[in-house]
């Protein structure tokens, strides 16, 4: 009887696959046409770059009691934003999206102690999602606007300088950022003001330095005057 019962059960399910977990929603691409309108953006890299082509990209927008951040950088390791009171690394609340050895992108919380980033177990991030594609780390997460006063987590309703950084990771642990002097917001950032700010990378700053402008003027004068 037991064998017959098992055969009947098998025959009932024969040809029907076992239930599978629902597919994971793909990571929604970061929209840049909303920059300066419904969210604030920072772009670092080539003029006209977007979230998929900038060396570094960050956006922020308020959603109820939270701020949603989107980060993306040309790296296979990590991308981060730090909230600073003085434009300098040290004593900063940092959120980083880290690509680990299993291919996942995890959102981690750090606190800068001098030039060293210490991971903090209390992580204010929620609704986390991230992806590693085309040699880029991209992520999206929310964190509360207001938190009870604590040294390692700042209140985002206050204005802070934003530190932008990215770099390699070793076995899911962040290492030194890619460039010696990562970009910093020129002025403090308010989550209540949406702007679209572009910062040219070093490769596109060459002709904007005072020395290069002076050299261009001198060469122009030389060409106009001719040689004796």
pLDDT number for residue 8:
42
The count of other CB atoms within 10 Å of the CB of residue 104 is: 12
pLDDT number for residue 169:
87
pLDDT number for residue 225:
61
pLDDT number for residue 209:
44
Report the chain (228 residues): mean pLDDT per 10 consecutive residues: 40 40 69 96 96 97 97 96 92 94 92 87 94 96 89 93 93 74 94 96 65 47 52
pLDDT number for residue 184:
95
List of domains in the chain:
40-225 (2.60.40)
pLDDT number for residue 141:
98
pTM of the model: 0.78
pLDDT number for residue 216:
47
């Amino acid at each position: 009887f037991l064998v017959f019962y098992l055969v009947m059960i098998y025959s009932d399910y024969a040809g029907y696959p076992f239930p599978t977990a629902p597919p994971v929603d793909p990571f929604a691409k970061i929209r840049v046409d909303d920059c300066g309108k419904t969210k604030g953006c920072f772009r670092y890299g080539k003029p006209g770059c977007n979230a998929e082509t900038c060396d570094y990209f960050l956006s922020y927008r308020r959603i109820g009691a939270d701020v949603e951040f989107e980060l993306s950088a040309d790296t296979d390791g990590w991308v981060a934003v730090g909230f600073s009171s003085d434009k300098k690394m040290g004593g900063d609340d940092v959120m980083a999206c880290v690509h680990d050895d299993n291919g996942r992108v995890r959102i981690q919380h750090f606190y800068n102690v001098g030039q060293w980033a210490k991971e903090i177990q209390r992580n204010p991030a929620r609704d986390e999602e991230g992806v590693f594609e085309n040699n880029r780390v991209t992520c999206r997460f929310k964190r509360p606007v207001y938190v009870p006063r604590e040294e390692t987590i700042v209140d985002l309703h206050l204005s802070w300088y934003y530190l932008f950084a990215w770099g390699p990771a070793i076995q899911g642990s962040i290492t030194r950022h890619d460039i010696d002097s990562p970009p910093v917001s020129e002025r403090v950032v308010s989550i209540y003001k949406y702007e679209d700010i572009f910062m040219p990378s070093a490769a596109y700053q060459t002709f904007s330095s005072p020395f290069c402008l002076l050299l261009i003027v001198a060469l122009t004068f030389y060409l106009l005057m001719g040689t004796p």
